[in-house]
Amino acid sequence: MSTQAYTTIEAIVAAKEIVVVCGPGGVGKTSVAAAVAAMAAAQQGGRVLVVTVDPARRLAQALGLSTAFSATGGATKRPATSGAQQVPPAAFVKAGSPPRGELWAEMLDTKQGWDNLVARHAPDRATALRILENPLYQNISGRFVQSHDYIAVERLYELHSEGAYDLIVVDTPPTRNAVDFLLAPERMADFFSSRLLRLLTVPYRSRLVDVASRPFYYVADRVLGTQFLEDIAEFFILFQTLSEGFVKRAREVERLLADRRTTFIVVSTLETVPVREAEAFMRLLPAKRLHLGGLVLNKVLPEYLTEARLADRAELLCSLAPAVAGRLCAPGGPLEEFGEGLVERVLAEVGTNFNNIAVVARREAAQRSELSGSFEVVASAPELDEDVHDLAGALQLGRHLWSAGPGRL
């Protein structure tokens, strides 16, 4: 690699107010988000918040927080705006990094997020209650697939505008596709301005008059039954009272994501499938006028594994194993006590193992050089001995990412 000065995570984070950590599933987004936030709190100071909406509540584990505090608002009576929990400074001290700032963590409850949105945008309390009690609403907010993405960005907007934090690091929810997260506000706005919603909320009697829409209602009636259709219509008539607030908010959220104070850090491993998804995502960012801060490669194998002369040496070890074992186990030899047969097996295993891992390491190196042709790799981290499950682990990962540039491991 050349001696050119690289952008570092440290520099990217220092200049931004919102860092969105995104990428394909299983690459360690949550750990990277926790690591970046922990490093920012430790090194740069200020109030740093790390947010996740992950239903599996992984960040809680990653930060060593109990999951109890995020129980649905009703039980704990905690308003969503104060759901954040501070990581005790003592934990930093214990991990060997006395913090300059504060680290806070928050986990979002999708259901609670929706309830808050309804409460905020409903014209009056009675309408809000009718919506909240509607069975369709309860299904939308609690149960089904698409609702996490929007709540994540919505909450991000809210947190940012409250201005309580100097830096907000967001671990994005698991989506079917990383891109879904970006499109969430747009989809929400589209939904409210759609012709379908209008079709749906037209009073029942006038439907029969409108010839153009008749086939639509015919099919809808046959499929869902008139009663359900009526229920849906009633619900959406109520829901439409939120529309103005929702659409306005969705636009503001979009603007915030595109703001210069916001940056996206894309995380990937060097496995084929995640790389492909990360690439697609990184190409979409500029198309949406969003700022790509950089690409972080996680869980990469050490580079020495790709060296050809070491592969030759491993081959040699396999073929010489009997002879070398003989030497090692000769009277007075260092491994005499173990016996030739056993030592021979161990040597062959060492050689075979090297060549096995080398196959994977070379595959990774190829992926990496392909990627770095189009995108700037700002940091990479090895697979750690242990998953990040506490602050010390987050900081350990963070130190790999922080100022290393793309430095090969």
Partner 1 sequence: MHPEPAVLARKLLFVTGKGGVGKTTISAGLALLASTHGKRTLVCEMDAKGDLASCFESGPTRFEEREVAPGLFAMSMDPEASLRQYLSLQLRLPRAAGIGPMARMFDFVASAAPGVREIVSVGKLCWEVRERHYDMVVVDAAASGHIIGQLAAPQAINQLVQVGLVRQQTDWMLEILSDPEVSGVLAVATPEEMPVTETIELAERLKEETTVSLAAVIVNRVLPELFVTREEQAFDALRQPAATELLAAQLGGRPEPLLDAARLMVRTRRSRASHLERLRAALGEHGGTHAGAHAGTHTGTQGSLEGGPHSNAPGGGERGAPMLYVPYLFLRSSGLRSTRQIASALAAELEAGLEPGQEADLEPGQEAGLEPGQEAG
Which residues ranging from 311 to 340 are in contact with partner 1 (CB under 8 A)?
313-314, 316-317, 320, 323-324, 327-328, 333-335, 338
Q: Which stretch binds partner 1 (CB under 8 A): 39-47, 154-162, 229-237, 251-259?
A: 229-237
Q: Which is nearer to partner 1, 163 or 203 (CB)?
A: 203
In terms of Cα–Cα distance, which of 316, 345, 315 is closest to 329?
345
Please, which of residues 84-113 interact with partner 1 by CB under 8 A? Answer: none
Please, which of residues 251-280 interact with partner 1 by CB under 8 A? Answer: 269, 271-274, 277
Indicate the angle between helix axes 125-133 and 135-142, nearest 10 degrees: 70
Structure-token pair, residue 70: 């995020």
Among 79, 225, 286, 322, binds partner 1 (CB under 8 A): 225
206, amino acid identity: S
Give the nearest distance from C-beta 35 to partner 1 in angstroms. Answer: 15
Residue 340, Cα to own-chain centre: how many angstroms? Answer: 51
Q: Which is nearer to partner 1, 255 or 383 (CB)?
A: 383
Is residue 58 part of the contact set for partner 1 (CB under 8 A)?
A: yes
Please, which of residues 345-364 interact with partner 1 by CB under 8 A? Answer: 345-347, 349-354, 356-360, 362-363
Give the nearest distance from C-beta 126 to partner 1 in angstroms. Answer: 23
Please, which of residues 15-34 interact with partner 1 by CB under 8 A? Answer: 24-27, 30
CA dist 264 and 258 (Å) reads: 10
Backbone angles phi, psi at 324, to 5 degrees: -65, -40
Beta bridge mates, 167: 48
| Element at 254 (helix H, strand E) | helix 243-258
In terms of Cα–Cα distance, which of 239, 249, 140, 246 is closest to 197?
239
Is residue 56 part of the contact set for partner 1 (CB under 8 A)?
A: yes
In terms of Cα–Cα distance, which of 28, 26, 24, 23 is closest to 384?
28
Give the nearest distance from C-beta 184 to partner 1 in angstroms. Answer: 13
Binding mask 179-198 for partner 1 (x = CB under 8 A): ------------x--xxxx-
Among 236, 246, 264, 402, binds partner 1 (CB under 8 A): 236
Give the nearest distance from C-beta 27 to partner 1 in angstroms. Answer: 6
Size of the site for partner 1 (CB under 8 A): 92
Q: Which is nearer to partner 1, 163 or 332 (CB)?
A: 332
Among 10, 54, 115, 390, binds partner 1 (CB under 8 A): 54
Is residue 408 part of the contact set for partner 1 (CB under 8 A)?
A: no
Please, which of residues 138-177 interact with partner 1 by CB under 8 A? Answer: 139-140, 143-145, 173-174, 176-177
Give the nearest distance from C-beta 268 to partner 1 in angstroms. Answer: 10
Among 219, 244, 261, 322, binds partner 1 (CB under 8 A): 219
Q: Which is nearer to partner 1, 11 or 409 (CB)?
A: 409
Give the nearest distance from C-beta 260 to partner 1 in angstroms. Answer: 30
CA dist 318 and 325 (Å) reads: 11
- Rounded CA Rg of the chain: 27
In terms of Cα–Cα distance, which of 117, 165, 111 is closest to 142?
111
Q: Which is nearer to partner 1, 11 or 328 (CB)?
A: 328
Among 132, 183, 199, 237, binds partner 1 (CB under 8 A): 199
Sign of the dihedral through C-alpha 42, 389, 353, 268: negative
CA dist 207 and 191 (Å) reads: 20
Among 78, 85, 120, 216, binds partner 1 (CB under 8 A): 216
CA dist 17 and 80 (Å) reads: 21
Q: Which is nearer to partner 1, 248 or 327 (CB)?
A: 327
In terms of Cα–Cα distance, which of 44, 45, 46, 19 is closest to 34?
19
| Residue 124: CA count within 13 A, CB half-sphere | 2
CA dist 62 and 35 (Å) reads: 9
Is residue 230 part of the contact set for partner 1 (CB under 8 A)?
A: no
Q: Which stretch binds partner 1 (CB under 8 A): 3-11, 42-50, 83-91, 133-141?
A: 133-141
- The label of the residue with tokens 């010839």 reads 211
Give the nearest distance from C-beta 276 to partner 1 in angstroms. Answer: 8
CA dist 384 and 374 (Å) reads: 27
Question: Residue 94 — left, alpha, or beta (φ > 0 → left; ψ -120 to 50 → alpha)?
Answer: alpha
